[in-house]
Amino acid sequence: MDVVTYEPHVAEIDKLIRRVSFVIKCRGRDILSEFGITTPQFNALLVLRDNGDMTIGDLGNKLYLASSTATDLIDRMERDGLVLRERDSRDRRVVRLYMLEKGHQMIREVMENRKRYLSDLLEQISAEEIEALQKALGSLYVLMKPPCKKCD
């Protein structure tokens, strides 16, 4: 039985994944700057969208931010009309964060812009290559997916 070795491909695949990741990250930052929002602010919006209202402490924990950093982040987002801070009706000591419609709209527009960017790129390769890419990336993700909620 022949042993299949993937060693010759490992370095090239690693390099390509890092390069693609870097380009996506850069283009993602460009898209966010077009909307006047930072990466941490957008990540906070995504956490609020996915988890519903929460305290600043909960948000900071999910984003691995210090309490003061999370507060500064929310200050800017509240000033920009993306979120609202409100005292909890059951416990007035607790302040909860709610995403406003402008925050929901921001997510929709940014995601549409990101999808449009990727769609424009994918139009330049064949349907077969797209399907193979999707299948390969899906398989790789399943193999490497950590048991961590933050990475979902």
The domain of 72 spans: 7-145
Task: Report if residue 84 sits inside a domain.
Answer: yes
Provide, rounded to the nearest whole percent, the portion of the chain with pLDDT above 90.
Answer: 80
Q: How confident is the model at residue 4 (pLDDT cuts 50, 70, 90)?
A: low
Residue 101 confidence (pLDDT): 97
In a domain, 102, yes or no: yes
Q: Is residue 1 part of a domain?
A: no
Residues 45-64: pLDDT tens digits? 999 999 999 999 999 999 99
151 part of a folded domain: no
CATH of the domain at 35: 1.10.10.10
- Whether 152 has a pLDDT exceeding 60, the answer reads no
**Pairwise CA distance, residues 79 & 22, whole Å:** 31
Is there a domain that residue 150 lies in?
A: no
- Proportion of the chain above pLDDT 70, given as a percent: 93
Tokens of 52: 């519903």
| Buried/exposed 7-19: b ≥16 CB within 10 Å, e otherwise | eeeeeeeeeeeee
Tell me: pLDDT of 150 over 60. no
- Residue 12 in any domain: the answer is yes
The vertex-141 CA angle with 43 and 145, nearest 5°, equals: 70
pLDDT for position 113:
96
Q: First CA to last CA across the chain, in angstroms?
A: 38
94: left (phi over 0), alpha (psi -120 to 50) or beta: beta
Pairwise CA distance, residues 47 & 62, whole Å: 8
Beta strands in 8-111 (DSSP E): 54-55, 83-87, 95-99
Per-residue pLDDT, 8 = 78
Domain assignment present for residue 152? The answer is no
CA distance 88 to 24: 39
Q: What is the pLDDT of residue 7?
A: 79
Number of domains in the chain: 1
CA–CA distance, 50 with 44 (Å, rounded to integer): 10
Provide the whole-model pTM. 0.82
pLDDT tens digits along 92-132: 888 899 999 999 999 999 999 999 999 999 999 999 999 99
Find where tokens 């302040």 sit.
Answer: 95
- Kindly state whether residue 114 falls inside one of the protein's structural domains: yes
